[in-house]
């Protein structure tokens, strides 16, 4: 049963130096035609797999709020037309950049049912913001969040990054202190990963990217855990922290290995036990929809073995871990019948533990999560 919908707006005013998401510069793009293609994909998707228990909608990018007021109205009308019925407490999130979101756009979002905003802040160090290719500055964050609160948003999330080029532990601590002063409900905090086809990847290959190093990165993550706890934000996933009741229900859909729609260029769906990939290039996406009504370029039926792997691979990201009883209810087999060797090995290494009916990461395991996840690929 589909739990969530992700919709992808691939347009940006500025391409950040670390970003490898499916995105293009906003200027000169066939935006209205793209939105119409999304409307067609959304209509055809919900007709073939009607939503019965939709709990979350998430609009990401790119920069969704780069759309003009008219374009936003067109897009929001599509969402409200097709993604009904919804659960009464549905979480409806828009990603946004500080500094390019005027109050009237925030009001438009709120009027259309959006009740959660996720701001890509990354750091409060203005020099570092310039270095990573962001166009906003610290003062813009304060102004935009003030606007959001005035409009009535009571669920605001901030994205932060660490292990950025030349970033120090002290600089990261300063960003955290400023972030806490904003009294938002949720934080996501990620270490920088150098991805191919990015500005930072090209700089690294030329020896011109100066990173803090693994030891400093680990120190920053340790500081993050300490400061979040000190300020009463509970860690519920490796990189996510929230005040009680404000955990991201959309992201929990992924980590709980539940089904979701993925609408837009380069989006991915998990529907009817199949993982589906959309065409990434905008023209290809639009032409596929014009020809067949769907933008699919790959459809994979997931085997039971793969589903069990994903249950561990994704579920171990959650701080509560993977429920032993839920695994049995879902697959009709004990988690120990399938993964006993891997569980024993990771327990011996001190990276996971069995406690209160769950298999979960230890504190040490949080620092080596990718190593643990790989161990459960059969």
The domains of the chain, with CATH numbers, are 2-255 (3.80.30.20), 304-375 (1.10.10.920)
Burial environment of residue 328 by CB neighbours within 10 A (0 to 12, 13 to 18, 19 or more): middle
Structure tokens at 298: 């790959």
Q: Cα 271–277–278 angle (5° rounding)?
A: 110
Residue for token pair 């939105």: 35
- Alpha-carbon span 63 to 187, nearest angstrom: 18
**Residue 205: predicted pLDDT:** 74
Which pTM was predicted? Answer: 0.94
Kindly give, in sequence order, each residue whose CB lies less than 8 Å from that of residue 201, ignoring residues fewer than 6 positions away.
194, 195
Q: What is the pLDDT of residue 197?
A: 73
The rounded distance, in Å, linking the Cα atoms of 16 and 35 is: 23
pLDDT along the chain (378 residues), means of 10: 93 64 67 97 95 91 91 96 85 92 95 96 92 86 96 97 92 97 97 74 72 90 98 98 97 95 97 96 96 97 96 96 97 96 96 96 95 90
Give me the pLDDT at residue 26, please.
61
CA pair distance 372, 90, nearest whole angstrom: 33
pLDDT of residue 193: 76
Strands ordered across the beta sheet of 296-301: 234-237, 240-242, 186-191, 156-162, 116-122, 86-96, 54-61, 2-9, 259-263, 268-271, 274-278, 296-301
Whole-number pLDDT of residue 115: 97
What is the reported pLDDT for 200? 66
Cα 335 off chain centre by: 28
Whole-number pLDDT of residue 361? 97
- Confidence at residue 295, expressed as pLDDT on a 0 to 100 scale: 98
What pLDDT, on the 0 to 100 scale, is given for residue 86? 77
Q: Strand 358-361 to strand 322-323: parallel, antiparallel, or no bridges (unpaired)?
A: antiparallel
3 state DSSP class of 87: strand
Give the per-residue pLDDT at 40.
Answer: 98
Give the pLDDT of residue 24: 64
First to last CA, the chain: 26
Backbone dihedral region for residue 272 (phi beyond 0: left; psi -120 to 50: alpha; all else: beta):
left
């Amino acid at each position: 049963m589909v739990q969530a919908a992700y919709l992808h707006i691939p347009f940006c005013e500025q391409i950040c130096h670390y970003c490898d998401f499916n995105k293009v510069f906003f200027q000169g793009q066939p935006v209205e035609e793209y939105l119409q293609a999304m409307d067609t994909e959304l209509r055809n998707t919900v007709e073939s797999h009607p939503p019965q228990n939709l709990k979350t909608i998430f609009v990401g990018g790119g920069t969704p709020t780069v759309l003009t007021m008219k374009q936003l109205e067109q897009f929001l009308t599509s969402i409200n037309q097709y993604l009904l019925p919804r659960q009464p407490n549905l979480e409806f999130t828009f990603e946004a950049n500080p500094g390019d979101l005027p109050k009237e756009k925030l009001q438009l979002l709120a009027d259309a049912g959006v009740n959660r905003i996720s701001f890509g802040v990354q750091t409060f160090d203005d020099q570092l913001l310039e270095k990573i290719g962001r166009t906003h500055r610290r003062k813009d964050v304060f102004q935009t969040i003030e606007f959001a609160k005035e409009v009535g948003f009571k669920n605001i999330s901030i994205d932060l990054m660490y292990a950025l080029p030349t970033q120090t532990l002290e600089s990261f601590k300063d960003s955290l202190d400023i972030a806490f002063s904003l009294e938002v409900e949720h934080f996501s905090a990620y270490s920088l990963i150098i991805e191919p086809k990015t500005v930072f990847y090209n700089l690294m290959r030329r020896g011109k990217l100066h990173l803090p190093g693994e030891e400093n990165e680990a120190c920053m993550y340790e500081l993050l855990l300490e400061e979040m706890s000190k300020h009463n934000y509970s860690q519920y996933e490796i990189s996510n922290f929230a005040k009680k009741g404000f955990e991201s229900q959309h992201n929990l859909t992924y980590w709980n290995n539940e089904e979701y729609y993925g609408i837009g260029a380069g989006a991915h769906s998990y529907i009817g036990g199949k993982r589906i990939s959309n065409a990434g290039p905008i023209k290809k996406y639009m032409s596929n929809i014009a020809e067949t009504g769907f933008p699919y370029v790959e459809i994979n039926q997931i085997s039971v073995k793969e589903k069990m792997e994903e249950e561990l691979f994704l579920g171990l990201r959650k701080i509560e871990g993977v429920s032993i009883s839920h695994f049995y209810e879902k697959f009709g087999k004990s988690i120990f019948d399938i993964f006993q060797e891997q569980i024993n090995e990771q327990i011996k290494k001190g990276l996971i533990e069995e406690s209160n009916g769950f298999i979960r990461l230890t504190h040490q395991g949080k620092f080596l999560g990718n190593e643990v996840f790989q161990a459960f690929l059969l």
